[in-house]
Amino acid sequence: MSTYLVAYVIGAYDYVEAHDSNNVQIRVYTPVGKKERGLFALHTTAKILPFFAEYFGVKYPL
């Protein structure tokens, strides 16, 4: 995995969570009280991840 995909964050955050069709856990972290702002990214990622896994022929997570 590329090192630029990793982040360390200290602070108070909420998260929204979903699973894609391959049961991969997806979380989007948001500032406390702003969960609704992460829903678009969460739902989009849950749809895109299986598409790219099939397109490239590589299952996620690596």
Q: Over the stretch 29-54, which tens digit does the pLDDT of each residue have?
A: 999 999 999 999 999 999 999 999 99
pTM of this structure: 0.77
24 within a domain of the structure (yes/no): yes
Q: Is residue 31 part of a domain?
A: yes
Q: Residue 50: which domain range?
A: 3-56
Considering its fold, how many domains does the chain have in total?
Answer: 1
Residue 62 maps to a domain = no
- Distance of alpha carbon 46 from alpha carbon 15, whole angstroms: 15
Task: Using alpha carbons, select from 48, 53, 16 the residue that is nearest to residue 32.
Answer: 16
Distance (Å, whole) CA 60 – CA 52: 9
Q: Is residue 61 part of a domain?
A: no
For position 7, what pLDDT does the model report? 80
3-state secondary structure of 62: coil
Share of the chain above pLDDT 90, in %: 77
